[in-house]
Amino acid sequence: MDVIAENVTQIWPGRHGDDVVALDSFSHRFASGRFSCLLGPSGCGKSTLVQIVGGLEQATSGAVRIVDPKRPDAMRPLGADSVMVWQHLNLFPWRSVVDNVAFGLEMQGVPKAQRHERARALVASVGLRGFENHLPGHLSGGMRQRVALARALILERPIMLMDEPFGALDAQTKIVMQEELLRIFDETKKTILFVTHAIEEAILLGDEVIVMTARPGRIKEVIKVDLPRPRSLEMVSSKAFGELFDRAFHLIREEVMTSMAQQAKALEEQ
């Protein structure tokens, strides 16, 4: 499924009557089976875009369409083709791992035996065999993130929207989760929109890195990442990786400076 964003503009009502233009004419085709990373300074509208693509918010103007490239005339409603994974996991603390993972199927009315079978297979595939009956509160942060990933994967949606999913993890756990996600991507070839602040993460995971401007968020540049797949962490030390990193760093640095100046000005005006 391709996600086509056309001139998406989002204006949020401000606290003091001053509206915030979060996104300004954002247009991009997130192609089927492509891993797209969104990189941009804090407040540039990345989460806003993800929410609009996921159908949680309606854009002020512009449109997002979901299109099957094999059937370009058949459009689908927003939301039904995608699933979201956030930094804040929203797991049910009173439900076991397997019941958290099976939740989406339960909502669809899939019988218990069937949904548990599917959930157990996914729990095993994200490396949590043996923890099926544990409660989320008894797991580490990385393990909880795996549960959240399995819970999203069980829905088998073609589009996965990920808003800083590994942002709260420690450095080592993050590496393991990145590898896990790369493996899942190679197996399922979903369309992935992945928001991150980390340049290295964006290049390691993505087929393209969309660098956004400081607010209002526009596309500053799309960097194609032509590193071969399967990817591995060793690639980080390669010359090609270093060149991509330098390019992204140069672009993002300018925008972070602009964003910091904006924040300082807003504080002064308060």
Ligand X SMILES: Nc1ncnc2c1ncn2[C@@H]1O[C@H](COP(=O)(O)OP(=O)(O)OP(=O)(O)O)[C@@H](O)[C@H]1O
DSSP SS3 for 211: strand
Distance in Å, CB of 87 to ligand X, minimum: 9
Token duo for residue 114: 């069937």
Closest to Mg ion by CB, 110 or 256 = 256
DSSP code per residue over 106-130:
HHTT--HHHHHHHHHHHHHHTT-TT
- Contact with ligand X (CB under 6 A) among 4, 20, 124, 155: 20
- Contact with ligand X (CB under 6 A) among 36, 45, 120, 162: 45
Work out whether 48 is an interface residue with ligand X (CB under 6 A). Answer: yes
Rounded to whole angstroms, how far apart are CA atoms 189 and 185?
5
Using alpha carbons, list the distances in angstroms from residue 177 to 37, 56, 77, 146, 254. Answer: 16, 26, 31, 8, 30
Work out whether 87 is an interface residue with Mg ion (CB under 5 A). Answer: no
- SS3 for 20-89 is EEEEEEEEEEECCCCEEEEECCCCCCHHHHHHHHCCCCCCCEEEEEEEECCEEEEEECCCCCEEEEECCC
Closest to ligand X by CB, 9 or 48 = 48
Work out whether 12 is an interface residue with ligand X (CB under 6 A). Answer: yes
Site for Mg ion in 31-50 (CB under 5 A): 47
Work out whether 47 is an interface residue with ligand X (CB under 6 A). Answer: yes
User: Which residues are CB-contacts of 110 (< 8 A; sequence separation ≥ 6)?
Assistant: 102, 118
Closest to ligand X by CB, 44 or 148 = 44
Distance in Å, CB of 20 to Mg ion, minimum: 14
Work out whether 44 is an interface residue with ligand X (CB under 6 A). Answer: yes
Work out whether 199 is an interface residue with ligand X (CB under 6 A). Answer: no
Stretch that binds ligand X, among 37-45, 107-115, 179-187, 249-257 (CB under 6 A): 37-45
Stretch that binds ligand X, among 36-44, 107-115, 133-141, 172-180 (CB under 6 A): 36-44
User: How many whole angstroms from its chain centre is CA 152?
Assistant: 12
Which amino acid is it at 181?
Answer: L
Phi-psi group of 7: left, alpha or beta (phi > 0 → left; psi -120 to 50 → alpha; rest → beta): left
Residues in contact with Mg ion, counted by CB under 5 A, come to a total of: 1
Work out whether 125 is an interface residue with Mg ion (CB under 5 A). Answer: no
Query: Could you list the residues that contact ligand X (CB under 6 A)?
Result: 12, 20, 22, 40, 42-48, 215
